[in-house]
Structure 1
Amino acid sequence: MRHLAALHAQLRGGAPAEEVLRAVCDRAGRALPAAAVLIFDASGRLRGGTGDGWPGLDEIVAGAVRTGRPVLRGPVSAVPLPGQAGIAGPPGVIAAVGRRRPVPPRRLEAFAGVAAVVLGTGEHQATRERERLARELHDSVVQTLYGISLGAGTAAELMHGDPANARASLAWIQETASAGLSDLRGIIVRLRPETLVGAGLATALRRIVDALHLAPGTGAVPPGWGLQLEAEPAVSPQVEEALYRIALEALGNAARHAGASQVTVRLAGDDTRVVLEVVDDGVGFQPGGPDGGPAGGPGRVGRLGLRSMRERAELVGGTLDVMSAPGAGTVVRAILPSSAAVLVG
């Protein structure tokens, strides 16, 4: 949808909030069509609009904020903006006055997603990201450093009396440090999502490959890693970030655990949905095993990774499937709507 694509370009370009909100109303009015489109924040303050209002509009907007559900009254449709988990109520409402009949709420949702980003839902998402990164730091990097510390102490004790085992301990330290570096590099990328905002999804996916999956000792991307892109889909900012984060998690799992020689990222979409696949030819695992890992073995995807990917897909109204078997590689497939229809916890 060209109107959404133009709005996303404004967001990426850092246009002022009020300018983007006016553009949302203008383009929604032309696309739907509607005689008037207006955006209100959660306090009922008008933040942007085109056309004239309608008698009783304030009451209609207040009802949509209070219930968190669309309200239709006469020619007016009022749709709550998508919120974030842990937030009491939506951050605002987008209302449209139909020319002859009410605008179907479903058609307002894509524009509601853009308005929600401008009105600050990104701040709440950032809080969730910080909490998740804290858990990842504890469960990966901190534990890795603790293991290295223990291994170094063991090697020091064995250095004079048992040099063979000391060398084995040093080799383990080197291997563990390399794995920890990969984990840390992934976390650093998560802390820099501006690469997504500034360059678009396709470029951001290529940067994930460049940043996370360097061939050891060569500084080059392994030739078996690739990106298949039909066309960069026009998706809402929430969906775009969800795709980026899911791909980042799936590629991190493939790099750290799969032992894969071929990894492919596929991205395709249309006006209604987008499909992301991350496919590897690695060791595979049993999805029904403990914590999402191989049955009887250490978790390859793990609680946090698999759960977070599914949560991200569900938060924007999509689904995520993981298909794998021991020795048969892994396919992670996310199917998301082009716009975030729901963002609830």
Structure 2
Amino acid sequence: MRHIAALHALLRAGAPVDEVLHSVCDRARRALPAAAVLVVDAAGAVRVSSGPPLPDLAALAAVAMRGGRVVLRGAVSCVPMPGHGGVPGVLVAAGRRRPPPPRRLEAFAAVAALAIGTGETQATRERERLARDLHDSVVQTLYGISLGAGTAAELVHGDPVNARASLAWIQETASAGLSDLRGIIVRLRPETLVGAGLAAALRRIVDALHFAPGTGAVPPGWGLQLDAEPAVSPQVEETLYRIALEALGNAARHAGASQVTVRLAGDDTRVVLEVVDDGVGFLPFTAGSPGRLGLRSMRERAELVGGTLDVMSAPGAGTVVRAILPSSPAVLSG
């Protein structure tokens, strides 16, 4: 069925969950046909809908979710979404005279379940990454500052010279911790793309992530080479932003680089992003590689929108991360 094929293409392109669910409702309404189609989540709330509201929906959806079975009432079909460890929601369709065929509705329910499951998996990964970032950077920095403050307090009267050195170390460590925290905030706020555009967002990544400790200035070896703003879809734009953020973060944390350059160029069909550093280098995609999970995440993000990601590096030879993406993800029409 062309509608199901188009929905799967939308999933492969990495479209946001609610965008996929809206498309599920719209396409199911046209294909069945139906007067209204709604996605009801596991809590019984209408998440997205197409068409007029349906009365007495909560009780009907609850019956379908509780029993994990199709429920028909009047001209309404209620089909549970297939899930692991529970029903993630139900798809409800109201026919104009009779209930839409449940078997046809089940195909759309399966796509909706995939979209919700994908969204939950991505959210879990982001939470796990945030927890690791907080533990590895901010928590450790605060612990070090606490120890340094205790040392300074003990020395302040008997050994003022070393006490001043300890306070200087605390100041430098706090500045580095602030830079780490800025990086985590930027990771959580891709809305910097909205309005400003990708080129401006890339400049903000550099400004936010890589202040030199104690100076508030971007290190002189960090540079941007940007062509005119590429005309890309919102999905591709966010993918480029996330890849650049990960690559720059790896360069800052692991590479020990003095020169880092971000290049962005595009045309009507594709866009190319490069992050190049002159750091220590490594063997990409091998066990124990610095930022190995991040490298895999970048590659997955590129592939989700139909692009490719290459990482070229060797010990002592620096690193090049190159993402080549279509200007817009390929989605089947119909």
State the TM bucket, normalised to the shorter chain. Answer: 0.5 to 0.7
Q: Does 1:181 align with 2:178?
A: yes
Given candidates 321, 324, 327, the residue that maps to 1:335 is 324
Report the Cα offset of residue 159 of structure 1: 6.1
Judged with a 3 Å threshold, the aligned counterparts in structure 2 of structure 1 residues 286 and 159 are, in CA distance, closer, same or farther, namely farther
Structure 2 counterpart of 1:232: 229
Given candidates 222, 230, 245, the residue that maps to 1:248 is 245
Alignment partners' CA distance in 1, 2:319 and 2:101: 52
- Per-residue CA deviation, residues 238-282 of structure 1 (Å, 9 max, x unaligned), is 221121111112222323443433221112334444321111123
Structure 2 counterpart of 1:261: 258
The answer to whether the 8 A contact 2:285-2:295 is kept is no
Judged with a 3 Å threshold, the aligned counterparts in structure 2 of structure 1 residues 280 and 130 are, in CA distance, closer, same or farther, namely same
Q: For structure 2, which runs of at least 5 residues remain unmatched after alignment?
A: 1-18, 28-35, 41-47, 52-99
Given candidates 302, 305, 328, the residue that maps to 1:313 is 302
Structure 2 counterpart of 1:192: 189
Residue correspondences, number: 247
Q: Does 1:201 align with 2:207?
A: no
Alignment partners' CA distance in 1, 2:229 and 2:37: 31
Mark the structure with the bigger radius of gyration.
Answer: 2
Structure 2 counterpart of 1:14: none
More displaced 10-residue stretch of structure 1: 155-164 or 199-208: 155-164
Report the Cα offset of residue 224 of structure 1: 3.3
Structure 2 counterpart of 1:52: none
Q: Does 1:324 align with 2:313?
A: yes
The answer to whether the 8 A contact 1:42-1:65 is kept is no
Judged with a 3 Å threshold, the aligned counterparts in structure 2 of structure 1 residues 220 and 174 are, in CA distance, closer, same or farther, namely closer
Judged with a 3 Å threshold, the aligned counterparts in structure 2 of structure 1 residues 236 and 219 are, in CA distance, closer, same or farther, namely same
Q: Does 1:83 align with 2:80?
A: no
Alignment partners' CA distance in 2, 1:59 and 1:317: 33
- Per-residue CA deviation, residues 218-242 of structure 1 (Å, 9 max, x unaligned), is 5443443332233433333222112
The answer to whether the 8 A contact 1:258-1:283 is kept is yes
Report the Cα offset of residue 165 of structure 1: 6.9
The answer to whether the 8 A contact 2:309-2:323 is kept is yes
The answer to whether the 8 A contact 1:182-1:256 is kept is no
Secondary structure (helix, strand or coil) at the match of 2:274 reads strand
Given candidates 143, 146, 149, the residue that maps to 1:146 is 143
Alignment partners' CA distance in 2, 1:169 and 1:305: 34
| Percent identical | 80
Alignment partners' CA distance in 2, 1:63 and 1:272: 36
Secondary structure (helix, strand or coil) at the match of 1:275 reads strand
Report the Cα offset of residue 127 of structure 1: 6.9
Alignment partners' CA distance in 2, 1:216 and 1:147: 16
Secondary structure (helix, strand or coil) at the match of 2:224 reads strand
Alignment partners' CA distance in 1, 2:102 and 2:162: 76
Report the Cα offset of residue 205 of structure 1: 0.9
Amino acid across the alignment from 1:322: V
Secondary structure (helix, strand or coil) at the match of 1:292 reads coil
Amino acid across the alignment from 1:65: F
Mapping for residues 218-229 of structure 1, pairs under 5 Å: 218-229=215-226
Secondary structure (helix, strand or coil) at the match of 1:291 reads coil
Report the Cα offset of residue 134 of structure 1: 3.3
Q: For structure 1, which runs of at least 5 residues remain unmatched after alignment?
A: 1-16, 26-38, 48-56, 69-79, 88-120, 294-301
TM-score by length of structure 2 reads: 0.57
Mapping for residues 42-121 of structure 1, pairs under 5 Å: 46=50, 62=105, 65-66=108-109, 68=111, 83=115, 86-87=117-118
TM-score by length of structure 1 reads: 0.56
Report the Cα offset of residue 157 of structure 1: 4.9
Amino acid across the alignment from 2:188: L
The answer to whether the 8 A contact 1:179-1:256 is kept is no
